Amino acid sequence: MRPSKGESSRSRTTYHEPRLFQVIWKLKTQVYSDRILKGCSKRLRLLTRNTKVDDPTAVKKFAASQEKWSNAHKEGVANAYVHYVREYGLSWEKPVYKRPARLPNVPSTEQLNKIIADGRKYAFIFSILPDTGLRPVELQRLLLRNIDLEKGVIYPETAKGAAMQEL
């Protein structure tokens, strides 16, 4: 269905827009973040444009047929569709998409020393991390009360909130 002259495709109302609005509104009342709501809405609109959203088998086939999509994107679409399925009482078994394992990008000592020597914004942070063995999130959560300047000791909280021994 093409929009009439002078009418944009965005202003056109489709059958499923009120149903999608109801799903997003329910998520909003459950205090989901705006970022989650926007992503879920975008993915559900993608499904409504390309397949019958009331047919879980068609949705699964559509997502599986998208060769250009990464498994992470397919998983995001499936997660958004889960909310639609729950809202309308449909029966659907969510497919499992395995993401490929990737090694972390760990900078070499030479790269770290170069960053520190440049004296840029993060030089101080990169000089502390190797000396203390802290994770970036642990360094981010450091408070002044966690540092003993007289002894030169740091008492960080772990990434999971437990107190650590002195460093």
Residue that terminates a domain, selected from 59, 88, 117: 88
- Whether the Cβ atoms of residue 125 and residue 139 lie closer than 8 Å to each other: yes
- Highest mean pLDDT, choosing among 5-14, 71-80, 118-127: 71-80
The mean pLDDT value of the chain amounts to: 83
Residue 165 has pLDDT above 70, yes or no: no
Range(s) of the domain holding residue 72? 17-88
Same domain, 76 and 117: no
Same domain, 75 and 38: yes
**Element housing 136 (H / E):** helix 136-140
Which positions ≥6 away from 117 have C-beta within 8 Å? 123
Same domain, 33 and 81: yes
Same domain, 21 and 84: yes
- Whether the Cβ atoms of residue 79 and residue 47 lie closer than 8 Å to each other: no
Structure confidence at residue 159 (pLDDT)? 65
Phi/psi at 100 (nearest 5 deg)?
Answer: -70, 140
Same domain, 83 and 113: no
Q: Of residues 7 and 77, which shows the higher confidence score?
A: 77
- What are the pLDDT digits (tens) for 30-51? 999 999 999 999 999 999 999 9
Residue 164 has pLDDT above 80, yes or no: no
Structure confidence at residue 94 (pLDDT)? 93
Percent of residues, the chain, with pLDDT higher than 70: 85
- What are the pLDDT digits (tens) for 63-96? 999 999 999 999 999 999 999 999 999 998 999 9
Q: Of residues 133 and 24, which shows the higher confidence score?
A: 24
Same domain, 83 and 21: yes
Coil vs helix vs strand at 157: strand
Same domain, 22 and 82: yes
Structure confidence at residue 11 (pLDDT)? 41
Same domain, 77 and 115: no
Structure confidence at residue 162 (pLDDT)? 63
Residue that terminates a domain, selected from 30, 55, 88: 88
Query: What is the number of domains present in the chain?
Result: 2
With respect to residue 100, please indicate whether it lies within any of the assigned structural domains: no
Structure confidence at residue 45 (pLDDT)? 94
Same domain, 71 and 37: yes
Nearest to 54 by CA among 93, 16, 80: 16
Same domain, 114 and 84: no
With respect to residue 21, please indicate whether it lies within any of the assigned structural domains: yes
